[in-house]
Amino acid sequence: MSTAENQKIAVVGLGYVGLPLAVEFGKKRAVLGFDINAKRIAELKAGNDKTLETTSEQLREAKYLSFSDKLEDLKTCTIFIVTVPTPVDHVNRPDLTPLQKASHTVGTALKPGDIVIYESTVYPGATEEVCVPVLEKVSGLTFNKDFFAGYSPERINPGDKVNTLTKIKKITSGSTPEVASTVDTLYSSIITAGTHKASSIKVAEAAKVIENTQRDLNIALVNELSVIFDRIGIDTLDVLEAAGSKWNFLPFRPGMVGGHCIGVDPYYLTHKAEEVGYNPQVILAGRRINDNMARYVARATIKRMVKNGINVAQATVGVLGVTFKENCPDIRNSKVADLIKELKTWGVQVVAIDPWASADEVQHEYGFSLGEITPSAPVDSLVVAVGHNEFRTLSAQTLRSYVRTERPVIADVKSLYKREELAAQGFTVFRL
């Protein structure tokens, strides 16, 4: 196996993970950024990135990076890095369709000596059990004889401008010891934080999937505590701040767990666990709690509206924020959509606003339109669901001007505001 120093790389899938990777490699060596979405390719060729993970200047700095949606262009590459989504279906089973299709695409361009590296989050064993057979079938080549594989899980944090790609330590692995070293050297050329070479592809796959499973369970714990404390009549944030005075208390906060990672990855691990004959208990319990939080927030809001004498069937609730996290346009697996769906089952009208989200994407993905909430277009109660900077800076007085009801409810999901100031404006305050 020769070194990878001068070999051309193809990054397959140019979303939140693939594009930053292609840009970093493209500053130093020949890279083809490949995506089947012709509109995305045209956008990137014009120097624009709708995900906002890269700037026009960063795209220009990647002087060795080109973009294409043409299959024949992949044949000029010898290292393929696959960065496509790995979602779950409507019953939370892993949907490996994008990964299988990407493997088929790469297989058409695969040549003896090539290396295929996967970054998509999967369950332990998926690379060698699902992806490699597709590569073999399409290419007619033999794994670990004619071509090789690696796995280096993505650690991109969408919207985070501090912990960026090069500043996050990278796990690497390969299908043979020699390939593992080649893959590690490849990533070491751009990752200033360093790399960790795992002992096998399965170990690297498992390490990635438990990172988010651990975080999911920690958030599930504080979500469950939030439900308990609400029934007791004490504020969760007050409790967490008090407990946080001890040096080793972990500072997790309650919330609606969405997005492409934390709300999805644990299901990949539990799928594999069940496949090998183990019925996971703790992981799925955490998932049930977190999956239910959007419904819980909606019902807690409705309950308080009823207590305040608001006619729910005639009321309008304003929802501030639709993306899955703050200061980011990513709407994938947003639990705000579940919250809105639950509110509508109670007969209320819902008006959602979000300065970061694409109205077209929201309509396409979730079937509702973004609207307007202003003093001239008021609502009856508010749910502040996402901590965008644009919402954090709103005063209690401004929020009050958005509602017309005498005794409005505000669900401050992320605890953005001082509850005393909201109460002084006449709000009944609920927060996780």
Amino acid at 88: V
Backbone angles phi, psi at 66, to 5 degrees: -125, 165
- The burial class, CB within 10 Å (0-12 / 13-18 / 19+), for 361 is middle
Active-site residue among 77, 131, 261, 328? Answer: 261
d(CA 58, CA 69): 21
The answer to whether 261 is a known catalytic residue is: yes
Dist CA 66 CA 26 (whole Å) = 8
Rounded CA-CA distance 269/420 in Å is 43
68, β-bridge pairs: 34
Inter-CA distances, 203 with 161, 173, 198, 266, Å: 29, 8, 6, 16
CB-CB contact of 333 with 250 (8 Å): no
> By CB neighbour count within 10 A (0-12 exposed, 13-18 middle, 19+ buried), where does 98 fall?
middle
Active site residues: 261
